[in-house]
Structures are given as structure tokens and as C-alpha cells.
């Protein structure tokens, strides 16, 4: 499998920064996901081959990190934390509100226009500012339903420009 020239150059460069090849795995998975939208079976095979590990080892790592996915997501992937700190401060209500606002019935659901997906996740490391969610690489904290509406509208605006 061939990645873009930019990604190939990045991979070659990353290998020079780590003493052990497999240390490239997590950052490279993120770059591949950014390029493809999600981690396809073909990409997993390719990455495993390059790093001389098994596809199962790659899948195990993917399953550990909520930011990595093997299924398509929306352009903006809304990940709402419902772990303990967020749970105690309304995380489940935030999740339900986000789903309702976007018309997404199930976990990992995608809006018909492909713009948003919504996913329930474990702790994203923003416990002090719970409830929190992450949209792609951006964190949003101290959420209320009103704040969620504003954030989603801001992404909609951004996408329309």
C-alpha cells in the first residue's frame, strides 16, 4: 500500500527519531488516520509489515486509544466522556444532548451529511474540567447543553466556509 508522498516522508523521518521501530506506531497511526479518515484493514497490514509486528498487535493498540478508529467517522468526531468525573458532572446528559442535537441515534453514529459523528469515550484526561468532550484534536470542557450547541454550530460554520 502506498501512502501520500508527504506521509511517506514523515514515516521515513519518524524512524530516525526512535531507537526501536515499533515506537513509531501510535504517532504513525494518527497520521495515517488523518490521511485516510480511519484505519483500514489494508493500512493495518501495511503498518504491521513496516514495523515488523503482527496486525493483531496493531489492532490491540488501536483498541486501547479512543482517538484511533477502524470505522469511518464524521468530518468532526464528537467524543463525549462519560467516565467517573464527567459522569458525576452530567457527562451522560451531555452525550444524550449531543446525539439528540445531531440526530444521531446510536454510539458511533454519523449524520447523513457525514459532517458529524458522536461517540461515547472513556476518560480523555480533562477530569478537572468535567464534563468534557473532544472534537477531533480540540478539547471542550465545563460543558453544558447550551455550550454543546454553540460548539457544534461553530463547527458547522467552520465547515461551510
Q: Which residues contact 29 (CB under 8 A, 6 or more apart)?
A: 39, 47, 58, 61, 62, 65, 68
Strand order through the sheet with 138-140: 116-121, 76-81, 133-135, 138-140
Q: ∠ CA(152), CA(105), CA(111), 5° rounding?
A: 50
Residue placing its CB nearer to ligand FES in the complex, 7 or 123? 123
Per CB under 6 A, which region of 30-38, 59-67, 79-87, 105-113 contacts ligand FES? 79-87
Site size for ligand FES, by CB under 6 A? 12
Per CB under 6 A, which region of 49-57, 92-100, 126-134, 150-158 contacts ligand FES? 126-134
Site for ligand FES in 45-64 (CB under 6 A): none
Tell whether residue 94 is a contact of ligand FES (CB under 6 A). no
Tell whether residue 136 is a contact of ligand FES (CB under 6 A). no
Tell whether residue 36 is a contact of ligand FES (CB under 6 A). no
Q: DSSP letter at 114?
A: S
Report DSSP letters for 31-58, one per residue.
Answer: HHHHHHSS--HHHHHHHHHHHTS-HHHH
Of 43, 81, 118, 135, the one binding ligand FES (CB under 6 A) is: 81
Of 83, 90, 93, 109, the one binding ligand FES (CB under 6 A) is: 83
Residue 54: all three cell numbers together: 503482527
Peptide bond before residue 131 is cis, with ω within 30 degrees of 0: yes
Interface residues with ligand FES (CB under 6 A)?
Answer: 81, 83-86, 123-127, 130, 132
Amino acid at each position: 500500500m502506498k501512502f501520500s508522498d508527504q506521509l511517506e516522508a514523515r514515516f521515513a523521518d519518524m524512524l530516525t527519531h526512535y531507537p526501536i521501530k515499533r515506537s513509531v506506531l501510535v504517532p504513525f497511526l494518527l497520521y495515517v488516520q488523518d490521511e485516510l479518515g480511519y484505519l483500514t484493514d489494508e493500512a493495518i497490514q501495511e503498518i504491521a509489515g513496516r514495523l515488523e509486528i503482527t496486525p493483531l498487535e496493531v489492532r490491540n493498540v488501536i483498541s486501547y486509544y479512543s482517538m484511533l478508529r477502524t470505522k469511518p467517522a464524521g468530518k468532526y468526531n464528537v467524543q463525549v466522556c462519560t467516565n467517573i468525573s464527567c459522569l458525576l458532572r452530567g457527562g451522560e446528559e451531555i452525550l444524550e444532548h449531543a446525539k439528540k442535537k445531531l440526530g444521531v441515534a446510536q454510539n458511533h453514529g454519523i449524520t447523513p451529511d457525514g459532517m458529524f459523528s458522536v461517540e461515547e469515550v472513556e476518560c480523555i484526561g480533562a477530569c478537572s474540567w468535567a464534563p468534557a468532550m473532544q472534537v477531533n484534536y480540540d478539547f471542550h470542557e465545563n460543558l453544558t447543553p447550551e455550550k454543546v450547541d454553540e460548539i457544534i454550530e461553530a463547527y458547522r460554520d467552520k465547515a461551510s466556509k
